[in-house]
Amino acid sequence: MKSFYIFFLFVGFSSFVLEKSFAEKLSEAAISLTKDKVVYDPKYVSIPYPNVDVPKDRGVCTDVVIRAYRKLGIDLQKEVHLDMKKNFSLYPKTWGLKRPDTNIDHRRVPNLQVYFTRKGKSLGVSKKASDYKTGDLVTWMIGGKLPHIGIATNRKSVDGKRNLIVHNVGSGQVLEDCLFRYEITGHYRFEKP
């Protein structure tokens, strides 16, 4: 009888240990997106609300983040919109909008930065690769004018020092060693709304 209990204790413990963390699941979701052929397309697109995406073969960097979270049951279109409705004054006014727009708000990096700061964790920006963990969101400014975002994965650079990033900066949804390629402007961790 004792061996029976030990067996079930082992099975229960194994199931607990084998359960992937949210960060691991987000990493896997992001990596799976690299299998889809996507043309970089920043056009404004009218889309239904909630839980609807731009066409699967189109997108920008934010769409990588949106699609990865959607695979885990989190609809950033809805979540960002709801927060913007209640707290519109806290979000950037860069685009001259007078109210939230469910078609585009979640597809803008500055809006995601505000949302992830409010609903997740804003982590320090550093030049130390080990500070950036699996599942972290990183934002950059490319060429001093283009906001960009990507997801740190559990895959490592050739030298083993940096987490590879899934992002889309013009070549589709790709997995690259680009953590320090651009000026980092933000570092976030977001698991659940």
DSSP-derived secondary structure letter, 135: T
- Tens digits of per-residue pLDDT, 149-183? 999 999 999 999 999 999 999 999 999 999 999 99
* Percent of the chain at pLDDT exceeding 90: 89
- Tens digits of per-residue pLDDT, 92-144? 999 999 999 999 999 999 999 999 999 999 999 999 999 999 999 999 999 99
Pick 20-189's CATH classification: 3.40.50.10860, 3.40.50.300, 1.10.260.40, 3.90.1720.10: 3.90.1720.10
